[in-house]
Amino acid sequence: MHIIRALLPGLFNKGVNYLFPPVCGNCDCAIWDNAGICPNCWKDLTFISGACCKLCGYPFELSHGDDLVCGECLKSPKKFDQCRAALVYDVFSKDMIIGFKHADKTYLRALFTQWLSLCGQDIINEADFIIPIPLHRRRLLKRRYNQAGLLAQGVARLHHKKYTPDLLLRTKNTSSQGQFSMSGRWRNVRNAFVLNSKFKDEIYGKHIVLIDDVYTTGATLDSCARTLKNAGASTVSAVVLARVTKE
């Protein structure tokens, strides 16, 4: 009897997958398990590993040591202490991430959470708080969920860390960053975030880890980190799903 009960969930899931096969989160073709992505799409993804900027995580083609800093960080230092990204944001990963963000493909969270955990394990292990980049309440009502919140919650559960989605508040209903130039992105998110007053006595001297989906210029992470540092946080790090790289 115990063996039958143990087998039932697996048999049920196989039956559901047979009648309603899961689909690839990128190309929408049917797949025979819940991996999230089919093998053909998987092989085209570029994961970031090896040498990278010790501050922003920008990947380098060649390794010349562990303390390398990219030209952008030397020219314009960020307020966050370090950032790591799981993969490159390109034509092969773009549709998958946009689908997760805007097209209700929330089933990809389990897979994305694993990727975030692998690329940012050292950072996450030292975290006192795991928080998402917050959405403005109007944007949240329209979208119905915060994709960064889903990722942050998954990472916090996986690492048994404190998930605090309302530690930062977005008080400025900023326009989408995609429509701005590089300098425009920085202006767009300037002073867009504030610390939730109920946490003002809890974050002093703490290590806070921000979770987001895509790193483009670092403007949003920088603005959040500035707010947290001004409120007393000692370290602000970030782990993102993907980042834009220059050709």
How many residues make up the chain in this entry? 247
Calculate the average pLDDT of the chain. 86
Confidence band for 137, pLDDT divided at 50, 70 and 90: confident
Which residue has tokens 């947290």? Answer: 228
- Verify that 8 and 71 share a domain, yes or no: no
**pLDDT value at position 108?**
94
Residue 46, pLDDT score:
95
Whole-number Å distance between alpha carbons of 70 and 75? 9
**Integer CA distances (angstroms), 228 to 57, 80, 94, 191, in order:** 20, 9, 30, 12
**What is the per-residue pLDDT for 184?**
65
> How far is 106 from 147, CA to CA, in rounded Å?
8
Unique residue bearing structure tokens 């900023």: 174
- What does the alpha-carbon distance between residue 118 and residue 85 come to, in Å, rounded to a whole number? 10
Of the pLDDT bands very low, low, confident and very high (cuts 50, 70, 90), residue 181 is low
Claim to verify: residue 139 and residue 40 sit in the same structural domain: no
Better pLDDT: 78 or 63 = 78
Domain boundaries, position 234: 46-243
What percentage of the chain carries pLDDT values higher than 90? 64
Average pLDDT over residues 66-84: 92
Say what the pLDDT of residue 10 is.
45
pLDDT > 70 fraction of the chain, expressed in percent and rounded: 83
| CA atoms of 48 and 70, how far apart (whole Å) | 15
Cα distances (angstroms) measured from residue 48 to each of 59, 71, 176: 7, 18, 26
Same domain, residue pair 88 and 195: yes
Angle, CA 227 vertex, CA 221 and CA 228 arms, to 5°:
85
Indicate whether 10 and 120 sit together in one domain. Answer: no
Is there a single domain that holds both residue 200 and residue 175? yes
Please say if the pLDDT value at position 8 is more than 60: no
Residues 2 and 93 in one domain: no
User: Quick check: 183 pLDDT over 80?
Assistant: no
What's the domain count of the chain? 2
* Residue 19 shares a structural domain with residue 79: no
CATH number of the domain within which 169 lies: 3.40.50
172, pLDDT greater than 90: no
Q: How confident is the model at residue 18 (pLDDT cuts 50, 70, 90)?
A: very low
Q: Are residues 73 and 140 in the same domain?
A: yes
205 CB-contact burial (10 Å; exposed 0-12 / middle 13-18 / buried 19+): exposed
For the chain, what is the total number of helices (H) and then of strands (E)? 10, 6
Q: What is the value of pTM for the model shown?
A: 0.86
Of 50 and 132, which is predicted with more confidence? Answer: 132
Q: What is the mean pLDDT of residues 186-209?
A: 89
**Whether residue 57 sits in one domain with residue 162:** yes
Q: How far apart are CA 163 and CA 128, in angstroms?
A: 9
Q: Are 103 and 25 in contact (CB under 8 A)?
A: no
Q: Tell me, what's the pLDDT at 64?
A: 67
Q: Are residues 139 and 21 in the same domain?
A: no
Do 228 and 129 share a domain, yes or no? Answer: yes
Same domain, 8 and 79: no
- The span from the CA of 59 to the CA of 51, in Å, is 6
Tell me the pLDDT band of 162, cut-offs 50, 70 and 90.
very high
Q: What is the pLDDT of residue 191?
A: 80
